[in-house]
A = this chain, B = another copy of it.
């Protein structure tokens, strides 16, 4: 049983803590949050101690730490964890500042400890089946990837204001998923977008709520990402991989299979699983499994620090592309 401490008791930290507590291969050793009440609440619910500080956490007898704190604290906690000899599973993005990420990369270079980044979608069974179809050759040579990712509703303004913008906050998952599917690094990025869901908030924060991104690899493979901050019919999460010998699609999922037929319509289904905690439930558990594997086997994690960094490079390229209305080469970015 891997003993894991959780830093950060917000929505996602709380979910991870519960998953770790229930996981057959892990023990939740304790939790910490800068907001003591939040930590106490989780600690009580799961029957584990709430620690007084991140330092206390690192000093405790844990094997690994899951970092789910505010984004701007990730880098420092990663470095402290590595120094303390703890394996790391860190939520995305590593940081909003690519320079800081690069410096962190330099600081932790050489460690044998796994540093895994929480790109949970790689562990979704449907998305994995698409990846497997690519790798098994079931669809031949890959030509195009389409990632559709739409949130069920706009995040609160307070969240948007510190999110770093849609590309680093939301699309970053899709950048990683595109890289996962492509199996090659994108060399060109084109992004465009608009302020259609909440124009006032987007205008004020300089952000976009409806974006399209096209990535291209050196061999010509194309990945198309489309994002919206609000899909009223639910959390829309699809991946399509098209190749020389076929296509593989990971469709949306619902809580059950009921369909209604009535006067003037047929086959009406309920909304999609809402929201990421429900939609990616198996994925979050499989992510922990993969993390435990990496720690126990001393292997590179399934999603490493460099994956986190490269997704951020794509996000920066997209930001530059949309700002300068031009195609951006990833080589232009750090």
- Determine if A141 and B263 form an interchain contact, defined as CB atoms under 8 angstroms apart: no
Question: How many residues on A have C-beta within 8 angstroms of the other chain's C-beta atoms?
Answer: 75
- Determine if A261 and B246 form an interchain contact, defined as CB atoms under 8 angstroms apart: yes
Q: A242-B231, A265-B269 are in contact. Are A192 and B188 (CB under 8 A)?
A: yes
| Extra 10 A-B pairs, beta carbons < 8 Å, given A126-B258, A143-B228, A233-B262 | A124-B256, A129-B258, A129-B270, A139-B260, A192-B327, A193-B222, A196-B244, A224-B224, A248-B260, A325-B327
* Residues of chain B within 8 A of A269, CB atoms compared: 265-268
Over the window 10-30 of chain A, the binary record of Cβ atoms lying under 8 Å from chain B Cβ atoms (1 yes, 0 no) is 000000000000100000000
Q: A129-B270, A232-B263, A252-B266 are in contact. Are A143 and B210 (CB under 8 A)?
A: yes
User: Is A181 on the interface with B (CB-CB < 8 A)?
Assistant: no
- Determine if B262 and A265 form an interchain contact, defined as CB atoms under 8 angstroms apart: no
- Residue from the list B188, B231, B246 in contact with A247, Cβ < 8 A: B231
- Determine if B327 and A233 form an interchain contact, defined as CB atoms under 8 angstroms apart: no
User: Is A272 on the interface with B (CB-CB < 8 A)?
Assistant: yes
* Residues of chain B within 8 A of A327, CB atoms compared: 190, 192, 325-327
CA gap between A224 and B265 in the complex, in Å? 25
User: Is A234 on the interface with B (CB-CB < 8 A)?
Assistant: yes
- Determine if B271 and A268 form an interchain contact, defined as CB atoms under 8 angstroms apart: no
Over the window 292-334 of chain A, the binary record of Cβ atoms lying under 8 Å from chain B Cβ atoms (1 yes, 0 no) is 0000000000000000000000000000000001110000000
* Residues of chain B within 8 A of A197, CB atoms compared: 143, 244
A182 to chain B, nearest CB (A): 12
